A = this chain, B = another copy of it.
Amino acid sequence: MSFDTDTLVFDNAGLIPAIAQDCESGEVLMMAWMNAEAVGRTLETGRVTYWSRSRSSFWVKGESSGHVQELVDFRVDCDRDCLLLQVRQTGPACHTNRRSCFFTALRAGEEVELMAPMG
CB within 8 Å of B: which residues of A?
A: 1-3, 17, 19, 21, 25-28, 30-31, 43, 73-79, 82, 84, 94-96, 98, 101-106, 109-111, 114
A26 to B24, CA, bound (A): 11
| Identical chains bound together, number | 2
User: Are the C-beta atoms of A31 and B106 separated by less than 8 Å?
Assistant: no
27 residue pairs of the A-B complex, CB under 8 angstroms, read A1-B110, A2-B109, A2-B110, A2-B111, A3-B109, A3-B110, A17-B17, A17-B31, A19-B19, A19-B28, A21-B28, A26-B26, A26-B27, A28-B28, A43-B106, A73-B105, A73-B106, A74-B106, A76-B104, A76-B106, A77-B102, A78-B94, A78-B96, A78-B103, A78-B104, A82-B101, A84-B102
**Shortest distance between the CB of A22 and any CB in chain B (Å):** 9
* Closest B residue, CB atoms, query A31: B82
Give chain B residues whose Cβ lies under 8 Å from the Cβ of A27: 26
**Which 5 pairs across A and B sit closest by C-beta, in order of nearness?**
A26-B26, A77-B101, A75-B102, A84-B102, A74-B106
